[in-house]
């Protein structure tokens, strides 16, 4: 006798129901009203599909064995039947492994019931219509094919007579899936085609001399089934009995592997792997900073369709010396980390009709002030959790349009789960083990075949991105990458157990990855080496303060572990414009340089400082003044500044109809060193104003897998189970309510109690403290009933306690329709 899943769940102890909810957390979002609702949800297509997604290949094959050994009469199967099928084959698994797989299925209630009468939950056949890749029984497809399958000798003779091309099609379909599409002509004319992607008849030089599909259909080895779009293609299916016969060498379930495939990997020296990864991490931080500096200097417009244009990506990549895929990855990660954002364009729309630009946010300066390891950690945490598949950039979408950086078409909610799965494989290996890509893909396919199917390209991209970002080194997961992954997982688990952050004293493990990476990176330096040719060599990553000074006083020439800058006339003038004096620059070079300051550098600073400010610019259109009358005469006679239309107002003053900014630019291009001044004659500092986008929150605050349902701790799950039990008791009690209270039509001559009779019953129940069924009309006009114990009756209201929910209810007397004492 079969049992419904709801009845089976009711018979379980609370601990068993809580264990089910732990394994399938989606069942409690939202909390089911009662056990019946829980059973319906546990058999729904979405919930069953999620449960199957977390199973390994061997467990799914054992579930298929349970499906294939079901009794057609009552739909049940037994452990013995599953063992018999699973252990049939050349390399059968141990019975203990099969029983362990059955236990995993029963723990998730994909199978339930006693061992000799196991039942499968509903929805599995709808999700996976072909168990173990086998087709439907021949009796369900075609009576004539069923008759052929009922005669084993005739079936074997027919198979042996099949041409090589037809046998190749059978072997292909026997491996699964058992259906294939075929052009309509292949089933109507002898020489009209073959099954898609299947080999043609190899006779006569490889040219098809007849349709092998037509031969198989005519000989009842394949059955035509409904399918195809618009009648352009037909479908054929291989019956289950024929598929089982063709699998006689591998077993009915195919090759069975009870343990994951071995991943040997190439052993690396841990220190070498960490050093390689740390070097790449330093480059990632440097390139990201260069990209954002370039965006600050020349913001990229946002296309009307979203994202950055192809030309802007190419421009940014060329300016920073990166290839386009790496530039796209770093831009996406920086955006996810909250370092860039969109800002409205001032005035008219910009290029491509865009009305927004991508700029660094206010958080960019804060990010720059951190150490290299801290900056790298912020980027990688954002990469782990961002729902962007950067490998799609450059491809074309379903409308044949290119997918651009930051566009919505690259959004993939499954991307964080893919990164977590791939890095989880690397984390499970021995430290510094570097597996091949194929080994990683094979292991992922065994661990979760339903999740991995069709996502091989995404998993390859994760490995490539991890190497680019310095998470891996020499193909192995770095020690600090392993720590960061563990920290992110621990943070997610802690947030799940304490979603309100009430455990303020909980130990925070964040920072161990930063400390590990800090130990591998060169220490930041606060000095440089000035060479005789006016080059400045920084022997390591500069401290933030030193980096800011170098940005003003020197021009960068090369970057890397030891960067090289050069002091030029323009850079000294830029420093003077920013407010430095000649004495300030001399002191800076003496303080920062570990080598003697070359005399040529001191001469350069003094020479530029002597000329600097010799000319003063103000607004008149603009005026130009100087105490050196000869210098003003030289400017007035200079043909290079004729466009300014200068004229002399006084021996020491020239004016122009143009604005002061244009005069400043033209004179500097002509080789002069003017300085702007305000109305009081005070020099105006010209440090460039930096525009920033509004601050954004990094996606690193998200869970590693945004699609995953939060897992509740056992005590909270036991509380949920108690709530479900109460709801189930209330539902069963409501079904037991008398017909008069429920508002149903009486089945006999018993009249429905009047309102006055109901009040008399309630008064007696108050005196006797007895349970009473109360029928009433709620605020929405619907009739309902409840079993309560009255507490008081007066002022037009009944106050009563529901013993199942331990709640006190108040009923308006005019809404009560009936009252019947509980017997």
Comparing 42-51, 315-324, 460-469, 720-729, which segment has the lowest mean pLDDT?
A: 720-729
- In the numeric block, the tokens 């001032």 are attached to 346
pLDDT given at position 188: 56
115-125 pLDDT, tens digit each: 888 999 888 88
In the 3-class helix/strand/coil scheme, how is 271-319 assigned residue by residue? Answer: HHHHHHHHHHHHHHHHHHHHHHHHHHHCCEEECCCCCECHHHHHHHHHH
Distance CA 700, CA 805 (A): 41
pLDDT given at position 445: 93
pLDDT given at position 201: 38
Distance CA 90, CA 85 (A): 12
791-818 pLDDT, tens digit each: 988 888 899 988 777 788 888 888 888 8
User: What mean pLDDT is predicted for residues 244-265?
Assistant: 88
pTM of the model: 0.75
pLDDT given at position 756: 76
Distances (CA, A) of 599 to 81, 653, 759: 94, 36, 109
Bridge partners, 181 (sequence order): 235
Residue 185 pLDDT grade (very low, low, confident, very high; cuts 50, 70, 90):
low
Distance CA 179, CA 581 (A): 82
Whether 716 contacts 29, CB under 8 Å: no
584-619 pLDDT, tens digit each: 999 999 999 999 999 998 999 999 988 888 787 776
Q: Which three-class secondary structure state does DSSP give residue 659?
A: strand
721-766 pLDDT, tens digit each: 888 888 777 777 666 656 655 554 444 333 445 677 788 888 888 8
Residue 402 burial (CB count, 10 A): 14
Strands 772-777 and 816-821 turn out to be antiparallel
pLDDT given at position 203: 33
Closest by CA to 405, choosing from 312, 498, 501, 530, is: 312
pLDDT given at position 370: 87
Higher pLDDT, 559 or 187: 559
Residue 681 pLDDT grade (very low, low, confident, very high; cuts 50, 70, 90):
confident
User: What mean pLDDT is predicted for residues 396-424?
Assistant: 90
Closest by CA to 73, choosing from 150, 145, 2, 135, is: 2
In the 3-class helix/strand/coil scheme, how is 749-789 assigned residue by residue? Answer: CCCCCCHHHHHHHHHHHHHHCCCEEEEEECCCCCEEEEEEE
């Amino acid at each position: 006798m079969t049992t419904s899943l709801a009845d089976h769940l009711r018979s379980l102890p609370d601990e068993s129901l809580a264990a089910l909810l732990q394994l399938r957390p989606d069942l409690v979002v939202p909390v089911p009203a009662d056990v019946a609702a829980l059973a319906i949800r546990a058999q729904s297509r979405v919930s069953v599909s999620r449960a199957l997604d977390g199973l390994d290949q061997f467990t799914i094959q054992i579930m298929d064995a349970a499906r294939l050994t079901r009794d057609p009469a009552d739909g049940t199967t037994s452990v013995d039947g599953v063992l018999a099928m699973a252990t049939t084959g050349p390399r059968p698994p141990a019975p203990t492994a099969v029983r362990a797989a059955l236990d995993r299925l029963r723990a998730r209630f994909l199978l339930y019931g006693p061992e000799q009468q196991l039942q499968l939950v509903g929805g599995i056949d709808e999700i996976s219509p072909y168990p173990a890749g086998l087709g439907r029984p021949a009796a369900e497809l075609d009576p004539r094919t069923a008759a052929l399958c009922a005669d084993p000798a005739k079936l074997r003779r027919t198979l042996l007579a099949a041409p090589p091309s037809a046998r190749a099609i059978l072997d292909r379909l026997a491996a699964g899936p058992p259906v294939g599409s075929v052009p309509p002509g292949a089933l109507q004319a002898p020489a009209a085609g073959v099954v898609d992607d299947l080999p043609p008849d190899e006779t006569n030089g490889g040219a098809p001399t007849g349709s092998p599909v037509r031969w198989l259909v005519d000989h009842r080895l394949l059955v035509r089934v409904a399918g195809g779009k618009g009648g352009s293609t037909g479908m054929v299916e291989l019956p289950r009995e024929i598929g089982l016969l063709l699998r006689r060498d591998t077993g009915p379930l195919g090759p069975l592997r009870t343990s994951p495939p071995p991943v040997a990997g190439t052993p690396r020296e841990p220190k070498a792997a960490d050093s390689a990864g740390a070097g790449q991490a330093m480059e990632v931080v440097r390139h990201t900073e260069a990209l954002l500096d370039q965006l600050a200097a020349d913001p990229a417009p946002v296309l009307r369709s979203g994202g950055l244009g192809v030309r802007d990506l190419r421009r940014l990549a060329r300016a920073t010396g990166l290839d386009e895929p790496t530039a796209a990855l770093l831009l996406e990660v920086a955006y996810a980390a909250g370092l860039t954002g969109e800002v409205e364009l001032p005035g008219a729309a910009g290029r491509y009709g865009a009305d927004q630009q991508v700029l660094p946010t206010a958080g960019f300066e804060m990010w720059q002030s951190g150490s290299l390891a801290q900056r790298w950690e912020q980027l990688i945490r954002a990469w782990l959790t961002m729902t962007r598949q950067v490998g799609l950039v450059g491809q074309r979408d379903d409308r044949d349009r290119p997918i651009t950086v930051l566009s919505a078409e690259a959004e993939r909610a499954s991307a964080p789960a893919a990164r977590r799965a791939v890095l989880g494989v690397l984390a499970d290996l021995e430290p510094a083990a570097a597996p091949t890509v194929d080994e990683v893909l094979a292991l992922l396919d065994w661990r979760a075949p339903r999740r991995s199917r069709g996502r091989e390209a995404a998993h390859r991209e994760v490995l490539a991105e991890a190497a680019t970002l310095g998470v891996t080194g020499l193909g192995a997961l770095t020690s600090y990458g392993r720590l960061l992954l563990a920290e992110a997982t621990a943070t997610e688990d802690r947030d799940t157990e304490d979603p309100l952050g009430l455990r303020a004293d909980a130990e925070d493990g964040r920072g161990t990855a930063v400390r590990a990476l800090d130990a591998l990176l060169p220490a930041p330096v606060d000095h440089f080496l000035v060479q005789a040719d006016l080059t400045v060599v920084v022997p390591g990553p500069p401290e933030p303060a030193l980096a800011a000074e170098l940005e003003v006083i020197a021009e960068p020439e090369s970057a890397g572990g030891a960067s090289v800058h050069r002091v030029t006339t323009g850079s000294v003038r830029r420093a003077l414009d920013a407010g430095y004096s000649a004495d300030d620059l001399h002191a800076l070079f003496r303080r920062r340089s570990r080598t003697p300051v070359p005399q040529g550098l001191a001469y350069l600073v003094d020479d530029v400082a002597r000329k600097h400010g010799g000319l003063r610019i103000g607004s008149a259109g603009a005026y130009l003044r100087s105490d050196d009358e000869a210098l003003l005469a030289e400017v007035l006679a200079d043909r290079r500044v004729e466009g300014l239309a200068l004229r002399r107002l006084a021996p020491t003053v020239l004016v122009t109809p143009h604005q002061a900014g244009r005069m400043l630019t033209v004179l500097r291009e002509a080789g002069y060193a003017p300085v702007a001044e305000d109305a009081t004659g005070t020099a105006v500092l010209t440090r460039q104003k930096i525009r920033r986008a509004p601050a954004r929150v990094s996606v690193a605050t998200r869970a590693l897998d945004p699609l995953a349902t939060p897992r509740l701790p056992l005590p909270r799950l036991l509380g949920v189970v108690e709530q479900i039990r109460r709801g189930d008791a209330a539902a069963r009690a409501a079904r037991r309510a008398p017909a008069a209270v429920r508002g149903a039509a009486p089945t006999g001559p018993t009249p429905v109690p009047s309102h006055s009779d109901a009040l008399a019953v309630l008064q007696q129940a108050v005196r006797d403290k007895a349970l009473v069924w109360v029928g009433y009309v709620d605020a929405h006009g619907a009739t309902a009933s409840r079993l309560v114990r009255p507490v008081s009756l007066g002022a037009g209201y009944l106050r009563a306690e529901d013993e199942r929910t331990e709640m006190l209810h108040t009923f308006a007397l005019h809404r009560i329709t009936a009252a019947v004492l509980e017997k």
